[in-house]
Structure 1
Amino acid sequence: MDQDALAEFAAQIRAEYEDLKAKNLKLNLTRGKPSAEQLDINNELLHLPGENFRTQDGTDVRNYGNLKGIIDIRQIWAELLGLPTELVYAGDSSSLNIMFDLISWSYIFGNNDSPRPWMDEEKIKWICPVPGYDRHFTITEHFGFEMITVPMLDDGPDMDAVRELALDPLVKGMWTVPVFGNPTGVTFSEQICRELAEMETGAPDFRIVWDNAYAVHTLGEEFPEVHNVIKMADAAGNPNRFWFMSSTSKITFAGSGVAFFASSPENLAWYVSHASVRGIGPNKLNQLAHAQHFGTAEGVRAIMRKHAASVAPKFDAVLDILDERLGGQGVATWTRPEGGYFISLDVVDGTAARVVELAKNAGIALTEAGSSFPLHQDPNNRNLRLAPTLPPKEEVEVAMDGVATCVLLAAVEKLGA
Structure 2
Amino acid sequence: MTTEPIHADTAGLLARARQDYQDLAGRGLSLDLTRGKPAPEQLDLSEDLLSLPGGRHTAADGTDVRNYGGLQGLPELREIFAGLLQVPAAQLLAAGNSSLELMHDCLVHALLSVMPGAKARWADEERIVFLCPVPGYDRHFALCERFGIEMVAVPMTADGPDMDTVERLAAEDPAVKGIWCVPKYSNPDGTCYSDATVARLAAMPTAAPDFRIFWDNAYAAHHLTDERVEIADLLGAAAEAGHPDRVFVFGSTSKMTAAGAGVAFFGSSPANVKWLLANNAKRSIGPDKVNQLRHVMFLRDAEGVRAHMERHRALLQPKFEAVARILQQELGGTGLAKWTSPKGGYFVTLEVPDGCAKEVVRRAAEAGIVLTPAGATHPYGKDPRDAVIRIAPSYPGLKELEQAIEGLAVCVRLVGYERQAA
Q: Same fold (TM over 0.5)?
A: yes
Residue matched to 1:233 = 238
Residue matched to 2:71 = 67
Residue matched to 1:312 = 317
Report the Cα distance in structure 2 between the residues aligned to 1:81 and 1:137, rounded to whole angstroms. Answer: 23
Structure 2, gaps ≥5 residues long: 1-5
Bigger drift between 181-190 and 107-116 goes to 107-116
Q: What is the one-letter code of the residue matched to 2:57?
A: F
Q: What is the one-letter code of the residue matched to 2:282?
A: V
Deviation at 1:80, TM superposition (A): 2.0
Residue matched to 2:91 = 87
Report the Cα distance in structure 2 between the residues aligned to 1:105 and 1:288, rounded to whole angstroms. Answer: 28
Q: Deviations over 1:170-214 (max 9, x none)?
A: 100000000000000011011111110000000000000000000
Q: What is the one-letter code of the residue matched to 1:21?
A: A
* Kept after mapping to 2: 8 A contact 1:182/1:340: yes
The correspondence of residues 34-113 of structure 1 with structure 2, limited to 5 A, is 34-113=38-117
The correspondence of residues 279-290 of structure 1 with structure 2, limited to 5 A, is 279-290=284-295
Corresponding residue pairs, total: 416
Match of 2:332 among 306, 310, 327: 327
Bigger drift between 215-224 and 243-252 goes to 215-224
Report the Cα distance in structure 2 between the residues aligned to 1:13 and 1:247, rounded to whole angstroms. Answer: 43
Residue matched to 2:174 = 169
Match of 1:395 among 379, 393, 400: 400
| In the alignment, structure 1 residue 138 sits paired with structure 2 residue 116 | no
Q: What is the one-letter code of the residue matched to 1:118?
A: W
Residue matched to 2:10 = 6
| In the alignment, structure 1 residue 181 sits paired with structure 2 residue 186 | yes
Residue matched to 1:17 = 21
Report the Cα distance in structure 1 between the residues aligned to 2:315 and 2:114, rounded to whole angstroms. Answer: 44
* Kept after mapping to 2: 8 A contact 1:185/1:338: yes
The correspondence of residues 261-300 of structure 1 with structure 2, limited to 5 A, is 261-300=266-305
Report the Cα distance in structure 2 between the residues aligned to 1:79 and 1:160, rounded to whole angstroms. Answer: 30
* Kept after mapping to 2: 8 A contact 1:81/1:226: no
* Kept after mapping to 1: 8 A contact 2:86/2:235: no
Report the Cα distance in structure 2 between the residues aligned to 1:247 and 1:256, rounded to whole angstroms. Answer: 10
Q: What is the one-letter code of the residue matched to 1:346?
A: E
Report the Cα distance in structure 2 between the residues aligned to 1:228 and 1:355, rounded to whole angstroms. Answer: 39
The correspondence of residues 170-209 of structure 1 with structure 2, limited to 5 A, is 170-209=175-214
* Kept after mapping to 2: 8 A contact 1:220/1:305: no
| In the alignment, structure 1 residue 216 sits paired with structure 2 residue 221 | yes
Distance change >3 Å, CA 74–CA 20, structure 1 → 2: same
Secondary structure in 1 aligned to 2:282?
helix
Report the Cα distance in structure 2 between the residues aligned to 1:171 and 1:84, rounded to whole angstroms. Answer: 28
Report the Cα distance in structure 2 between the residues aligned to 1:304 and 1:321, rounded to whole angstroms. Answer: 26
Deviation at 1:9, TM superposition (A): 1.1
Distance change >3 Å, CA 120–CA 294, structure 1 → 2: same
Deviation at 1:220, TM superposition (A): 2.4
Q: Deviations over 1:300-351 (max 9, x none)?
A: 1011000000001000000011111111211111111000000011101000
Match of 1:258 among 259, 263, 284: 263
CA RMSD in angstroms comes to: 1.1
Secondary structure in 2 aligned to 1:316?
helix
Q: What is the one-letter code of the residue matched to 1:416?
A: A
* Kept after mapping to 2: 8 A contact 1:82/1:226: no
TM-score, structure 1 as length reference: 0.98
Report the Cα distance in structure 2 between the residues aligned to 1:220 and 1:333, rounded to whole angstroms. Answer: 21
Deviation at 1:81, TM superposition (A): 2.4
Secondary structure in 1 aligned to 2:133?
strand
Report the Cα distance in structure 1 between the residues aligned to 2:96 and 2:239, rounded to whole angstroms. Answer: 27
Secondary structure in 2 aligned to 1:291?
helix
Report the Cα distance in structure 2 between the residues aligned to 1:242 and 1:296, rounded to whole angstroms. Answer: 25
Q: Deviations over 1:200-231 (max 9, x none)?
A: 00000000000000000001244222422111
Report the Cα distance in structure 1 between the residues aligned to 2:77 and 2:362, rounded to whole angstroms. Answer: 45
Secondary structure in 1 aligned to 2:154?
strand
Deviation at 1:82, TM superposition (A): 3.4
* Kept after mapping to 2: 8 A contact 1:172/1:205: yes
Report the Cα distance in structure 1 between the residues aligned to 2:251 and 2:95, rounded to whole angstroms. Answer: 10
Residue matched to 1:384 = 389
Match of 1:115 among 113, 119, 144: 119
Deviation at 1:416, TM superposition (A): 2.9
Secondary structure in 1 aligned to 2:279?
helix
Seq. identity, %: 48
* Kept after mapping to 1: 8 A contact 2:10/2:421: no
Deviation at 1:2, TM superposition (A): 8.5
| In the alignment, structure 1 residue 156 sits paired with structure 2 residue 138 | no
Residue matched to 1:404 = 409
Structure 1, gaps ≥5 residues long: none
